[in-house]
Amino acid sequence: MINDYSNWFANLARAYSFKLSGGLIKQRIHDFQVDEILSFEPDGEGENVFLQIRKSGVNTDEVVKILSKFCGVPRMDIGYAGLKDKNAVTTQWFSVRLPGKKEFNWYLLENENINLLNITKNRKKLKKGTIKKNKFIIYIRGVRLEDIEDSMKYIAVQGVPNYFGEQRFGREGRNIMKLSDFFARKTKVSKTQRGILLSTARSFLFNEVLSQRVSENSWNKALPDDVFMFSNGSSIFSANSEENLQLRIDRNEISPTAVLFGKYKKTSLSLSSIEMRVIDENRWISEGLIAFGVELSRRKLKVVPQNVQCKEDDDGVEVKFDLPSGSYATTVLREILS
């Protein structure tokens, strides 16, 4: 275990050597925009009010607190599909469980940070992960179209390593540094913070495995002990020597995966040699995850941005693309910006 993780994310291996000098993101809050697209349509009925909110300057948890106070309901009665950044303009859905005929003037929620876009209902609470995709609009200042367009076109075909983004680990990796005391049960944390730290631990191990695969130029290659996942779903399968797996990877039909470590299930497939090595090198994390009862799962090593567009104006380039739930726009941009 090391004591300083401030440069850990920056040192993760990169797949490409673009690394355009200059190019600044998030210089203004409107430079980074995210629109969340759910994987289902609310049915318009039921006791859960669904609110589509555009926010800036507040994170998802802060909106949950506002809704809890406004409605007089416990936080457990409020649902959301995913976490959205504070320092961006983001659109996302929230659900509020309101049994009976309780009605509110929801537009009283609006202020300089929150705008209400849509109100409907659904029979079930909004669950985490029920996102089809996120649509990004990112303004990169200090670059020209010719600096970035070819790189983005290449990435739109070849994809990028599907790292968990830097924000997952806290400023300068501080969430990683909290894990030692957390796993030793030396600190008491809230249920929300507990979930954040367990996610940090699994994401750290995943990124370590992926970084080694990128260093070996195998993050987008089929290895004999790999487990694969369909690009448009979450079903997994192990390698079959009779299949042309590499062709399917190149066509973006499937991707190799790495483990999101936890307790083995009967249906769990075996770990690769790289995964075993990373887990063994970080026993203080892997053993902590097992002690907390987290179940093993998997995540794609490769993600391909969709609907990529680039447009120039006087001060930089506007880049648009879509990513599936759980993938990070910043991991796309780190492949092209220094």
Which is it for strands 48-56 and 114-122: parallel, antiparallel or unpaired? antiparallel
Query: Which tens digit of pLDDT belongs to each residue from 193-252?
Result: 899 999 999 999 999 999 999 999 999 999 988 999 999 888 899 876 667 899 999 999
Eight-state DSSP code of residue 236: E
What confidence score (pLDDT) does residue 234 get?
81
> How far is 16 from 335, CA to CA, in rounded Å?
6
- From 324, 334, 321, 330, select the one nearest 82 (Cα to Cα): 324
> How far is 139 from 158, CA to CA, in rounded Å?
22
What confidence score (pLDDT) does residue 266 get?
62
| Average pLDDT value over all residues in the chain | 93
Query: Are 60 and 24 within one domain?
Result: no
Query: Are 100 and 160 within one domain?
Result: no
Check pLDDT > 70 for residue 268: no
Range of the domain at 315: 1-36+139-338
Q: Which amino acid is at 94?
A: F
Average pLDDT rounded to a whole number, residues 183-190: 86
The string of DSSP codes covering 302-332 is: EE--EEEEEEEETTEEEEEEEEETT--HHHH
Instruction: Let me know if 181 is a catalytic residue.
Output: no
- CATH number (domain holding residue 226): 3.30.2340.10
Q: Between the CA of residue 152 and those of 21, 42, 93, 143, 157, what are the distances in Å?
A: 15, 34, 29, 13, 9
Query: Which tens digit of pLDDT belongs to each residue from 3-41?
Result: 788 899 999 999 998 878 788 999 999 999 999 999 999
Average pLDDT rounded to a whole number, residues 314-328: 94
Q: How many domains does the chain have?
A: 2
Helix (H, G, I), strand (E, B) or coil at 139: strand
Q: For the CA atoms of 240, 325, 305, 170, what is the dihedral angle to 10 degrees?
A: -110
Query: Are 44 and 29 within one domain?
Result: no
- CATH number (domain holding residue 112): 3.30.2350.20
Helix (H, G, I), strand (E, B) or coil at 131: strand
Whole-prediction pTM? 0.92
Domain assignment present for residue 32? The answer is: yes
Domain assignment present for residue 134? The answer is: no
Q: Report the sign of the C-alpha dihedral through residues 93, 141, 154, 214, in that order.
A: negative
Query: Are 45 and 27 within one domain?
Result: no
Active-site residue (options: 85, 181, 280, 313): 85
